[in-house]
A and B are shown apart, each in its own frame.
Chain A
Amino acid sequence: GQQVMQIPQYQHVQEGEDFTTYCNSSTTLSNIQWYKQRPGGHPVFLIQLVKSGEVKKQKRLTFQFGEAKKNSSLHITATQTTDVGTYFCALYNSNYQLIWGAGTKLIIKP
């Protein structure tokens, strides 16, 4: 079945540094979604990308969809403690089931 690889598994940053997580697929994607899960919480929808080469911004978060629609990234500029959590990419397969990446955990170094 369709799968998506998400890297890295963890990223430790100093507060104020940037953070990036990547998702890659071997097949062309119709769309990709991004979610954030705070520690102990539930996933919260952030954004959906559908167009080739699409770039969307939400304050310090920048989401990109690759030209070939096989990869996507989430970049956070100048991380803050409120950014802590796990970021997941997810995509729908042909049966309208959401396939989830393994997630990237953002950890702020003390």
Chain B
Amino acid sequence: SQTIHQWPATLVQPVGSPLSLECTVEGTSNPNLYWYRQAAGRGLQLLFYSVGIGQISSEVPQNLSASRPQDRQFILSSKKLLLSDSGFYLCAWSGIEGGPQYFGAGTRLSVL
């Protein structure tokens, strides 16, 4: 069966520090991969999505970037974190375009 791993679960980082969040999917090949951010009590904001290795689409101009170095690995990065980058970051995958999305457990990022 398919599983998605996302780590770390929580992260506290100072303003101006770098960020790297990793997500990996097991049990499937060529998944569509997504990074979302969720502010407290709010809906999900799509940040990046990828339909294949090296293919990244960005939805929101911001301080973040994403990479997909391997088929089932998706990385969210920042060179210098801002206070406004705090939030709940969720990675998700789907097997087909237009199909259900399955989420990792998420990373709660606090930038202080």
Which residues of A are at the interface with B, using a C-beta cutoff of 8 A?
Answer: 30-31, 33, 41-45, 48, 88, 92, 96-98, 100-103, 105
Contacts and interface: CB of A to CB of B under 8 A. Distances in A.
B103 A88 contact: no
B101 A98 contact: yes
By secondary structure, the B interface counts as: loop
Contacts of A105: 41
Contact of B105 (A31, A33, A42, A101): A42
B64 interface: no
A88 B100 contact: no
Interface residues of B, number: 21
Interface of B: 32, 34, 41-44, 46, 49, 59, 90, 92, 97-106
A42 B104 contact: yes
Contacts of A102: 42-43
A88 B44 contact: yes
A49 B15 CA distance: 43
Most buried by A among B46, B98, B104: B98
B49 A97 contact: yes
Given A42-B104, A43-B90, A103 B59 contact: no
